Amino acid sequence: MNRREMMTSVAAVAATSSALIPGSSMSATAKPVPPVAKKVPKRIEQLGRVRVDDYAWMKDDNWQKVLRDPSLIKAEVKEHLTAENAYVKAMLAPTQDLQKAMFEEMKGRIKEDDSSVPSPDGPYDYYSRFALGGQHPIYARRPRGKTDGEEVLLDSDALAKGKAYSQVSAADHSPDHKLFAYAEDAQGSEVHKIYVKDLATGEILPEPVDSSTGDFTWSPDSQWLFWTHRDDNGRSDKIYRRPARGGLKDDVLVYEEPDDGFFVSVSVTGSDAFIVISAGDHETSETLLIPASDVAAKPKAVEPRTPGLRYSVEHWDGKFVILTNADDAIDFKLVEAPVDNPGRANWKDFVAHKPGTFITGHAAYKDHLVRVERVNANTRIVITDRATKAEKPIVVDEQAYVLSVEGGYEFDTPTLRYVYQSPTTPRQWFDYDMRSGDKVLRKTQEIPSGHDPSKYVTKRLYAKAPDGAQVPVTVLMKKDVKLDGKAPLLLYGYGSYGMSMDPSFSIRNFSLVDRGWIWATAHIRGGSEKGYGWFLDGKKFKKKNTFTDFIACAEHLHANGYGAKGATVAYGGSAGGMLMGAITNLRPDLWSGIIGAVPFVDVLNTMSDTSLPLTPPEWPEWGNPLEDKEAYDYIASYSPYDNVAAKPYPAVLATGGLSDPRVTYWEPEKWAAKLRANTTSGNPILLKINMEAGHGGASGRFDFLKEIALDYAFAVWAVDKGWTKA
């Protein structure tokens, strides 16, 4: 190892900074110099395999404390990240006007003083709204059915004042309408405090809940607050309760999860009859119930956890209705069970399993049961009448769309609120009478700067994967775009955890589409767009299907005139960022640019570090490389960071957050350093780390749009090869 390899980024900071500062020793027009990360080889032996990590030093051994206080980051890491941010700023300086224009466009599509459709509960209508120019919502209520008499419950803008980051992740009033609780993450680390406000006096009660995931629920009698604890490794491990007006000394442990690989959360059935504790990982789940009439009772499992068995419970019509994959119901079914003996031995089919029709969720109302189904990347809602058991579906005749249920507070109501949207159609909120089938449009998403759906077209295409699977692709573009391969293409994908990338409406995407771009979303395996089996075919030892599906989508689009090799940018975040890393290694020739937002790219190292928040819970998704040689070898064969090699990589923008507990900052940092050291193309590798945020980026609605505008401006810059024109 020579001295040059051991250089820190100090020289790079100076060179980059001098290119931006008038009167410096370097010309203001000099080309920015990328930071040079030092290499400190670390030999790692595991299951008889050996790997060497040159950039392991970037991980702060004190990362748990850094999440809560970023000022504790070790100096050499902060120095390197500062240099990387300066380099991004210098390289993308020519796009500043474009970034500003895109931001103003996106902002112009937001009704600044927007408000939600009020949700009735007893004597009040509850809603949230924004003040003009406000970054965060105001939570409020007013007398039911009235348009005046507003009472502000929480002003999140005021709460965030003077803070670099503030996010209210959950907020809810007590059922008796006397108290209001909210969970705030003040760092981006997802470590929350839960505060309780007395609505009669306006005072915040002393001793907030500390170290919570932000998950909480009121008991139906309003006397207790149940909440989920977050441990030092960022895992949800315990459920506590405290008196509604209690403090730290009053906290009572209700449930402690014995398995480090399980997440826990707490809720209430729609009927208000039971407190629900949900525990599970990506393959197995367990539901424990506490009668709301006896909150001190020991939680009792509906069915003890069985590997591979997943289920969730609602209470309806004097029985439990359970959504489950039992009996090889890959796309899930609904069963019913008696309340006094709800175990699996007594489960009776209520809605039978239908392959290809994925039941994604269910909700109970007094006289109706609602379920949501997904078929071929589109959704529908089905309503079952309690008395007649007759079913009414809500469907839309469109190539690509989304229907979703918006839950309310009231159980004894015939009204279901649902939302319809598509890539071309802004959101519409409907109140649907589940008895008559009549519906009332309550609100249409307003686009102040104007939006004409007729100027755009949404298409559903199908790409053939290498193994013959038909992969859906949703396309959004202007009607006048010619399919001659000349329009630039942005291809978005995720493909993990069974999460569906639904064809929804986005105010952001039009800043590219209106510039003649084609926006496409690849509904690849690993997601659940075509059912739960679609997810299973893209996880663990079938993970590579996710990557080859995405590549097949790009090639299919190109073959049919939707973009071309020299004008395609791939975009994905988190586990979708892992997808970005994998497809960059596999087919660097396909992309002019790659945007990896908070990218999970250091898969082998992360899945081998049991101290990290998501590692044990993630083993069912990826495999356990600490104990399973096959899992180690398979992960090693695709892990983006481990497979970086001397290749002509496209331009890459990697982003991250210093306080991110899900994809830690060092993953994109290490990836960018290794890409830059190995690329043979001369194309730039950029790394931007938000030093004051976590996994979701900036907390304010406008600050977040600035980050998106930078991503999109990079896409234009990558297609135009802007770095060659400076």
Q: What stretch of H or E contains 88?
A: helix 75-91
Strands 489-492 and 518-522 turn out to be parallel
Round to whole Å and give the CA distance between 122 and 15: 64
Round to whole Å and give the CA distance between 90 and 84: 10
DSSP E strands, 439-543: 439-444, 456-464, 470-478, 489-492, 518-522
Strands 439-444 and 593-597 turn out to be unpaired
Round to whole Å and give the CA distance between 254 and 299: 8
Round to whole Å and give the CA distance between 352 and 629: 39
Round to whole Å and give the CA distance between 27 and 5: 26
The CA radius of gyration of the chain, in Å to the nearest whole number, is 26
User: Which residue among the candidates 60, 172, 431, 660 is catalytic per the annotation?
Assistant: 660
619 close to 607: Cβ distance less than 8 angstroms: yes
585 close to 646: Cβ distance less than 8 angstroms: no
Determine how many CB atoms are found less than 10 A away from the CB of residue 720: 16
Q: What stretch of H or E contains 351?
A: strand 348-351
User: Which residue among the candidates 17, 236, 496, 574 is catalytic per the annotation?
Assistant: 574
Both tokens of 661, joined, read 């507990």
| Residue at 305: amino acid letter | R
Nearest to 345 by CA among 355, 337, 353: 337
Nearest to 489 by CA among 571, 597, 574: 571
* Residue 97, phi then psi, degrees to nearest 5: -65, -40
Round to whole Å and give the CA distance between 53 and 55: 6
DSSP E strands, 465-530: 470-478, 489-492, 518-522
**3-state SS class at 53:** strand
Q: What stretch of H or E contains 566?
A: none
Half-sphere exposure of 197 (CA within 13 A, CB side): 18
Mark whether 660 is an active-site residue.
Answer: yes
Nearest to 236 by CA among 274, 275, 281: 281
For 558-568, letters b (16+ CB in 10 Å) and e give: beeebbbeebb
* Residue 472, phi then psi, degrees to nearest 5: -70, 145
Both tokens of 289, joined, read 């119930």
Q: What's the chain's length in residues?
A: 726
β-partners of residue 441 are: 430
Round to whole Å and give the CA distance between 572 and 592: 15
Mark whether 574 is an active-site residue.
Answer: yes
Round to whole Å and give the CA distance between 167 and 162: 13
Round to whole Å and give the CA distance between 446 and 180: 29
Both tokens of 646, joined, read 């001397």
For 256-306, give the secondary structure using H, E and C. ECCCCCCEEEEEECCCCCEEEEEEECCCCEEEEEEECCCCCCCCEECCCCC
Strands 42-46 and 49-53 turn out to be antiparallel
Round to whole Å and give the CA distance between 517 and 562: 10
Residue found by looking up tokens 């850094």 in the block: 66
* Residue 154, phi then psi, degrees to nearest 5: -155, 130
583 close to 571: Cβ distance less than 8 angstroms: no
449 close to 159: Cβ distance less than 8 angstroms: no
Catalytic residues: 574, 660, 695
